Structure 1
Amino acid sequence: MKRLVVGLSRLRFGSLRLRLVAVFAAVALTAAVSASGIAYWLNRDAVLTRAQNAALDDFRASMTRNVGSLPVNPPCDELQQAADRMAQSTQNYQVLLISRDADGNQCAATSDRDVFTLDQVPAALQKAVEKARPLGGGNHSTYHLYWQRTTPGGRPFLVGGAKMIGNGPTGYMYKSLDAERSDLNSLAWSLGIATLLALIGAALLAQAAASTVLRPVQRLGDAARRLGEGHLDTRLRVSGTDELAELSHTFNNAAEALQRRVEELSSREEASRRFVADMSHELRTPLTAITAVTEVLEDEADSLDPMIAPAVRLVVDETRRLGDLVENLMEVTRFDAGTAKVHLDPIDVADLVTACIDARAWLDAVELDAPRGIVVRLDPRRIDVVLANLIGNALKHGGSPVRVSVREDLTEPAEVVVEVADNGPGIPAEVLPHVFDRFYKADASRARSEGSGLGLSIAMENVRLHGGTITVANGPEGGAVFTMRLPIPPEDSEGRDDGDRHASQECEHDEVNDADANTDVDDHDTEGGEQQ
């Protein structure tokens, strides 16, 4: 029973184990109820038929012995004596004899007037007993013995009656069937207990069968879950030669092949990352020398031959692009290797955005809505890279004015939200899902453009390092809208003064001279997907 309780405690609604137990129980219950019902009705018929035949045979014989010798119209006292003698039978029934005396008066003699009178005899039975049958056609007697089972007051009785041939007395017997009903009730209880035991046995058998079948399946599910979590060395213990053992063997083969494939791909990926990192590192030394030479050429560009000056400027521009590409590749390899780190400091987001715009001389082209007081712990260098990419892309592909807004979302979890919206035609719907892909460019015919296609992917990685997200969509009035969300730790949002948090910001900037105004956005690659 303890094993059954433990097994049932493991059942879950809708589980295969529960369905197996339910099927076994339903089959066992159906079989047990059917067998018990058939056994009960067979035994009931046998018990009642045996008791009925014994009582009727005895009554017929007693009628022949005690009433057959009486005259056609016996006196009432002789009729009463005959009824008393017949009631002394071992079958324990009461007797009622009805006849007419010599004067034509009806005489009814009963062995117990308080128990059995003519009122207990059904009218249909009286009619059948008194009806004379014509002789012939296989019928050798004018009158026959008839019987009927009745339940007056809820108690079962057998009533039988016959009429003596030759217009003799009519006799009825009245036998209680309480003993037989008690035996049948005991039988019903026994069959019910047997059915219950069969149901419990079926549940135990179902539990055992389910455990035998489902335990390997459960182990297979656990192994598949561990495999999905990255434990590629997970294997199943194979025992037996049945279908489940074959399934376990197949799983082990698949897991082993998957592990080999993943290890092969990992080694290739690692080799590829190492190659990119080594290549980028090796390029930095000659690139530094080339950059120094190009800077000299750039300084002397005005004094060069007009036919040579455009080539010199092209070399200078391409050298800068190559330098940016090498730096971006180095950054990408750090992201892929998991070695990129963030150095968090409490920074006012409005000041950081203002400094980014100011450093690149974008003040006249950008509409800024950034209230002071939103202080978040972040890496200013990495967030500056993100802002430079987003705003630079908006200016390059969307057109002025570019709107940059900073707001605080204090719904759980608290976030600072930075939105960069341009005034361009927007990004095509088929391009939107690929904007942050590496080396993706919206126009394949413009493979050689000012950017490398790594800017927005690097921006996304920098935001992820802060635990935030960055998304892009087209605004309802046109133009692309980039949204950066950075989480605000609970300790940063507690105790902040609401008035300071939403205070208006007055942007005060030092005058930017002409040399500073030429600061190039290419310090950070700003291209990930082109809008035009």
Structure 2
Amino acid sequence: MATGARRALTFWRRSIQARVVISTLLLSATVVGVVGWLLLQQTRDGLLDQRVDTVVAEAVNETEDARTRLQSTPFNDVDAAQQQRALVEPIIARGAGRDFAVVLAGPSGSGVLREGGATYTPGLDRTSVPDSLVEHFSEVAEPAWTYTRIRREGPDGARVAEPGVVVGSQVTLPADGRTYTLYLLFPLSGEERTLDLVSRALLTAGSLLLVLVAGVAWLVTRQVVTPVRLAREVAERLAAGRLRERLVVKGEDDLARLATSFNQMATNLQRQIRQLEELSRVQRRFVSDVSHELRTPLTTVRMAGDVLHDAREDFDPVSARAAELLQVELDRFETLLVDLLEISRFDAGAAVLDLDDVNLSDVAHRIVDSTMPLASQRGVHLLVRAPQDRPCLAEADVRRVERILRNLVTNAIDHAAPEVPGGRAEVVVHVAGDQHSAAVAVRDHGVGLAPGESAMVFNRFWRADPARARTSGGTGLGLAIALEDTHLHGGWLQAWGRPGEGAQFRLTLPRRVGEPLRRSPITLIPDDAEEPV
């Protein structure tokens, strides 16, 4: 059930044609329903008003006829009971032929309708006369009518009920001079059948109209959506690298012009992508060639520099200092050359992993031990926080993981000195793991990162503060290489920072290379970070 709901939701999100057709169908159903309801209400009101006018007029005629007959009867010769029968029996007889029922109750104020003293059409349930109308005629009153449910005994003896109209009027018997109430009950079964027929006709017509609207909406949207869907498919093939794909142009309408513009855009993109690929290839080849060609003269200069550095004690102070600076810069130049060669291997896709099960806790301790002299020189305290009861294992290339952590730790040492009073010159290396991933986070409390710099910090040769000295001899490629090493493992390398609150870099690796990462066991925003105001 859940799978079907997800598929339906996915289909709804991805299919504009389905959304247009269903939305049009729902709106049309709403309009048809409202219009049909209004038509039914007007038809019902018209039928009832016409029926009420007819039955009221008929009831008036019956009442006037009854009064005429009463006035023509010599009341000295009959008693009241005989006069009641003479009054109501002809009306009951006519009602049997003209489909209405009769109840004669009275005299007024006696309540005989409920007590069984009324004369009425055989088989009729006297409760068909509503209490409100009975209460109205408890005293002498004007004629009145109301809607009711006429309950009677059917031909097969079963009790049936149908809607109806009851009209009441009063007559006075000459025999006793008292007022009696004459109720005429007219059924509305004919009008009910007419309304049912009209309802079925409207429902059938509405259903057919909705089917036609859905079909028209589907055909119209198909004419628009099909070219868009073809354009999407071609765009996906272009994104997959098949740059020769183009749309078929048919006609001269807006969609045809859109296809023409799309093809022109694809041609321009193809040309520019090829130019960029060629430029990138030339650039990578240039960096690789220059890096390799520089190794031979660098080796010669290194040998000469080593000779000068070893003999610096025989030089004057200025020459000795120059020999020392030459050695330092040669070290930096050699490191830069090694980084450039590594970058060129990444660009060429020649970098490979030498996989093994690596305990990130051991790697973190080795890196901290190796960088302790630099941290002591900078006055920075290094601390490792790793679980003691279990290892944090990940399938990785230990050489590349060590290089990533070394870059992160030395970078944190460079920026760990706080620029606010009372800050901590401390770098903490957190290690954690779960069933699916292992992570290392390097936290410092130094200058931090400005908004937007967390994404730029991994760019090649990018520096947050170009005027800041590189005390650890960085080349500007360390974090870029670390990011490439992380991507080679299928992991994440992310940064967080706030000005004055320091920064945290988090490395997350899957337990097995190739497995997708869904979460990290260490949060990117450290727990000791203050909430933004």
Fold-level similarity (TM above 0.5): yes
Runs of 5+ consecutive residues of structure 2 not aligned to the other structure: 1-7, 107-116, 152-163, 418-423, 516-533
8 A contact 1:287–1:323 mirrored in 2: no
Give 3-state SS (helix, strand or coil) of 2:120's partner.
coil
* AA at the equivalent of 2:397: D
**Matching residue of 1:469:** 492
Which residue type is aligned with residue 480 of structure 2?
S
Give the 3-state SS of the residue equivalent to 1:415 in structure 2. strand
Of 441, 450, 454, 2:477 maps to 454
Given candidates 460, 463, 466, the residue that maps to 1:438 is: 460
Mark the CA change 1:305 to 1:262 in structure 2 (over 3 Å): closer, same or farther: farther
Question: Which residue number corresponds to residue 35 of structure 1?
Answer: 39
What is the aligned partner in structure 2 of residue 527 from structure 1?
A: none
User: Amino acid of the residue matched to residue 120 of structure 2?
Assistant: V
Whether contact under 8 Å (1:149, 1:157) holds in the other structure is yes
Tell me the SS of whatever aligns to 1:31: helix
Greater C-alpha Rg: 1
Distance in 1, Cα, partners of 2:217 & 2:478 = 57
**Alignment partner of 1:346: what SS?**
strand
Taking the TM superposition and a 5 Å limit, the aligned residue runs for 1:297-308 are 297-301=304-308, 302=311
Paired residue type of 2:336? L
Task: Note the C-alpha offset of 1:465.
Answer: 1.8
Match of 1:188 among 184, 189, 195: 195
Match of 2:509 among 470, 480, 486: 486
Question: In the TM superposition, what is the alpha-carbon distance from 1:411 to its structure 2 partner?
Answer: 3.2
1:340 alignment partner, one of 331, 346, 351 = 351
Query: Is the 8 Å Cα contact of residues 496 and 504 (structure 2) preserved in structure 1?
Result: yes
CA distance in 2, matches of 1:9, 1:355: 51
Q: 1:9 to 1:319 in 2, by over 3 A?
A: closer
AA aligned opposite 1:36: L
Structure 1: any 5+ residue segments left out of the alignment?
1-7, 99-111, 130-145, 493-532
2:299 to 292, 297, 300: 292
**How far apart are residue 33 of structure 1 and its match?**
1.6
SS at match of 1:437: coil
RMSD between superposed Cα atoms in Å? 5.6
Cα distance in 1 for partners of 2:496, 2:172 equals: 107
* Alpha-carbon distance in structure 2 between the residues aligned to 1:149 and 1:373: 89
Partners of 1:216 and 1:352 lie apart in 2 by: 62
On the 8 A contact 2:395/2:513 being kept in 1, the answer is no
**Counterpart in the other structure of 2:401:** 383
Q: TM-score, normalised by structure 2?
A: 0.61
Deviation of residue 456 (structure 1)?
Answer: 1.3
Partner of 2:211: 204
Q: Structure 2: how far apart are the matches of 1:126 and 1:368?
A: 103
Letter in 1 for 2:300: V
Q: State the AA in 2 paired with 1:279.
A: F
1:415 aligns with 2:415: no
Find the counterpart in structure 1 of residue 78 from structure 2: 76
The one-character-per-residue Cα deviations of 1:171-220 (angstroms, maximum 9, x if unpaired) are 99765423xx2212212222332343344335424433543455567654
- Percent identity between the aligned chains? 21
Corresponding letter in the other structure for 1:39 = T
Match of 2:270 among 263, 279, 283: 263
TM-score (norm 1): 0.62
- Measure, in 2, the Cα distance between the counterparts of 1:215 and 1:252: 16
Task: Report deviation, 1:275.
Answer: 2.0
Deviation at 1:389? 2.2
Q: Distance in 1 between the 2:465 and 2:26 partners?
A: 62
Q: Is the 8 A contact 1:32 1:195 kept in 2?
A: yes
State the alpha-carbon separation in 1 of the partners of residues 478 and 216 from structure 2.
60
Question: Of the candidates 28, 32, 39, which is equivalent to residue 24 of structure 1?
Answer: 28
Provide closer, same or farther for how the CA distance between residues 461 and 75 of structure 1 changes in structure 2, counting only shifts above 3 A: same
Q: Which has the higher contact order (CA 8 A, sep 6+)?
A: 1
1:329 positional shift: 3.0
Partner of 2:448: 427
Deviation at 1:458, TM superposition (A): 0.9
The 5 Å alignment of 1:107-256 reads 114-115=119-120, 156-158=165-167, 175-178=184-187, 181-212=188-219, 214-215=221-222, 220=228, 227=235, 230=239, 246=254, 248-249=255-256, 252=259, 255-256=262-263
CA distance in 1: counterparts of 2:463 and 2:332, whole angstroms: 16
Q: Which moved more, 1:394-403 or 1:40-49?
A: 394-403
Following superposition, the deviation at residue 323 of structure 1 comes to: 4.4
Q: 1:470 & 1:82 partners in 2: Cα distance?
A: 105
Do the aligned residues in 1 keep the contact of 2:168 with 2:181 (CA within 8 Å)?
yes
Q: Does 1:46 find its partner at 2:50?
A: yes
Which residue number in structure 1 is paired with residue 340 of structure 2? 329
Cα distance change of structure 1 residues 9 and 73 upon mapping to structure 2, 3 Å threshold? farther
Cα distance 1:344–1:184, how it changes in 2: closer, same or farther (>3 A)? same
